[in-house]
Structure 1
Amino acid sequence: MANTETALKEALASIEGATGVALVDYTSGMALGTLGGGKSFDLNVAAAGNTDVVRAKMRTMEHLGLKSEIEDILITLSDQYHLIRLLKGRGGNGLFLYLALDSKRANLAMARHQLKKIEEELEV
């Protein structure tokens, strides 16, 4: 089992094209940990904004009567991928991993696979 800091370091180091990663509480919109990003990409702002994305999707699913659980949400920009992975089990309720990727260097399928593995090993 990995703690938050270890999981974030693993994501940034092992996922090709990763430029920033955060563990986010979507009930409050607060980042519980961040790594990467920079002056031009504030992960705390991204965490708060993507909290709204998660909440909106959950509301929509509720209104549609969908019983499935969200595994991940992908946002594709012209030069980036933003991947949101909701945590399951072990106290992960209300949390998600947020990963920003350089789309020119990233393999999206591998990034999703590796982020799922990191999520499964994360102890919160």
Structure 2
Amino acid sequence: MTIMIDDQTDPALWDPTLDAVIAAPANHKIVFENDRLRVLEVILGPDEEEPVHHHRWPSVFVFDQVQGPIHDFAPDGTMMPPNRDVIQAIQAWDGKGCLVVHMAPQPAGRVLNASGKTLHGIRVEMKS
């Protein structure tokens, strides 16, 4: 299967078929949406890997259940360095309460939950 890599410079030009809700519907459910916000419930089971997808808008991600290790992969299968938003936040988190992460738009990629715990959270995307 060939996957088009998004134009990384302008999220408005990213392939709409790779939107998280369309490309990875088992992992992203719309809880609420209007012209300014989209609220997603995100679930990724233990040792589960999401299909390739993107998130074109900046967001706030509130995890009520998460544990590392979590790995990010580019569409070509290359593992991304562990310096990305969620990865750094999980590593710094003390495990108490909810983990809140401010996230920039994320170009196409996929996430592997390599932990033995289900990842669960609410992602509030701010449409621009």
TM-score, structure 2 as length reference:
0.30
The structure where strand makes up a greater share of residues is 2
TM-score, structure 1 as length reference:
0.31
The structure where helix makes up a greater share of residues is 1
